[in-house]
């Protein structure tokens, strides 16, 4: 999908995962200096789930 295709607001998705999975995601997030959300969205896109390109971005504010 193109970034212009992403016009719907984000929705919340809550999932329960094994503790080891959450820990690993946390470690990867720290190592990559990216939020878990970004890692999960990339994984979903790699799995073939439609994810708008502009959704796969770090929404945190960067210090100036």
Average pLDDT for 1-8: 57
Report if residue 62 sits inside a domain.
Answer: no
Number of domains observed in the structure of the chain: 1
- pLDDT of residue 54 exceeding 50, the answer is yes
Number of helices (H) and strands (E) in the chain: give both, helices first: 2, 0
Tell me whether residue 10 is in a domain. Answer: no
In-domain check, residue 59: no
Helices (H), the chain: 19-32, 36-46
Residue 6 domain-assigned? no
pLDDT computed for residue 1 by the predictor: 47
* pTM: predicted TM-score of the whole model, two decimal places: 0.75
Q: Is residue 57 part of a domain?
A: no
Distance of CA 59 to the CA centre of its chain: 10
pLDDT digits (tens, 9 = 90+) for 8-47: 888 999 999 999 999 999 999 999 999 999 999 999 999 9
In a domain, 33, yes or no: yes
| Separation of alpha carbons 49 and 46, rounded Å | 7
16 vs 5, which has greater pLDDT?
A: 16
């Amino acid at each position: 999908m193109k970034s212009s295709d992403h016009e719907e607001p984000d929705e919340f998705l809550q999932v329960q995962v094994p503790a080891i999975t959450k820990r690993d995601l946390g470690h990867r997030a720290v190592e990559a200096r990216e939020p878990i959300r970004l890692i999960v969205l990339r994984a979903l896109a790699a799995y073939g789930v439609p994810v708008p390109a502009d959704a796969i971005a770090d929404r945190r504010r960067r210090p100036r």
